[in-house]
């Protein structure tokens, strides 16, 4: 393969490509190689310049991941927006039905449907939180309320083999954070814990206030 690269360099004058080098300790690492050929010299000469590109590859992978997440976020945001509009129409029609009917049984059924609509609306907000990739301005939120709202999504995300319980306390826990990153952190912690228990187990989400002294 190296002979092919060298022949191409002499044919075109230069040739640039990526290769893999190996350190003395056996570690393989990626490099970018530049061959500069002088076929008119006697004997013909070939200059070889290479540089390690492992960090560059990592940056490229991070960039590609960020771009994918941004695309996903835009897609999820568009779907959630359209879905919310549909839910608004459904909720409005159900409210009209409730005002037009005097049947208590019908009222109970309409109330159940409206509660389901409220849950669907909350789910769209959860989807937006998962799909959001960009940093947002920090704001003060109640960590307890955020975690409590995400519990249903955590249970759906990890399946039935892992039991989920919580001990969130009774008092609010105000924190100043990037709201989207906070939600993703909670979901990632739960998902990582679930992945560590392929045979099943239990996860407890617990919140408590600590004083950290430097």
pLDDT in tens, 40-99: 888 889 999 989 988 888 888 888 877 776 776 677 777 777 777 788 778 888 888 888
Cα–Cα distance, 83 to 120 (Å, whole number) = 9
pLDDT at 36: 92
pTM beyond 0.85: the answer is no
- Mean pLDDT, rounded, for 9-29: 91
pLDDT at 48: 92
Cα–Cα distance, 127 to 142 (Å, whole number) = 19
pLDDT at 25 over 90: yes
How many other C-beta atoms lie within 10 A of the C-beta of residue 77?
A: 15
Kindly provide the b/e burial profile for residues 79-115, where b requires at least 16 CB atoms within 10 angstroms of the residue's own CB.
ebeeeeeebeeebeebeeebeeeeeeeeeeebeebee
Render pLDDT for 112-168 as a digit per residue (tens, 0 to 9). Answer: 888 878 777 767 766 666 555 455 578 898 989 888 888 877 887 777 888 999 999
Helix (H, G, I), strand (E, B) or coil at 179: helix
Cα–Cα distance, 56 to 47 (Å, whole number) = 23
Strand 201-206 to strand 14-22: parallel, antiparallel, or no bridges (unpaired)?
unpaired
């Amino acid at each position: 393969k190296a002979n092919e690269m060298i022949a191409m360099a002499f044919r075109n004058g230069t040739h640039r490509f990526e290769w893999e080098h190996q350190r003395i300790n056996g570690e393989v690492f990626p490099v970018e190689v530049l061959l500069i050929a002088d076929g008119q010299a006697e004997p013909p000469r070939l200059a070889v310049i290479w540089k390690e590109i492992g960090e560059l590859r990592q940056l490229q992978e991070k960039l590609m991941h960020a771009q994918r997440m941004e695309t996903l976020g835009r897609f999820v945001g568009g779907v959630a927006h359209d879905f919310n509009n549909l839910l608004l129409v459904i909720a409005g029609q159900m409210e009209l039905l409730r005002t037009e009917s005097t049947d208590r049984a019908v009222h109970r059924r309409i109330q159940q449907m409206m509660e389901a609509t409220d849950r669907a609306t909350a789910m769209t907000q959860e989807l937006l939180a998962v799909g959001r990739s960009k940093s947002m301005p920090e704001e003060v939120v109640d960590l307890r309320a955020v975690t409590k709202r995400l519990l249903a999504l955590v249970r759906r995300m990890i399946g039935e083999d892992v039991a989920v319980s919580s001990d969130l306390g009774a008092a609010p826990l105000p924190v100043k954070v990037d709201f989207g990153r906070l939600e993703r952190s909670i979901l990632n912690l739960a998902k990582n814990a679930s992945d560590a228990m392929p045979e099943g187990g239990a996860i407890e989400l617990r919140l408590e206030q600590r004083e950290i002294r430097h």
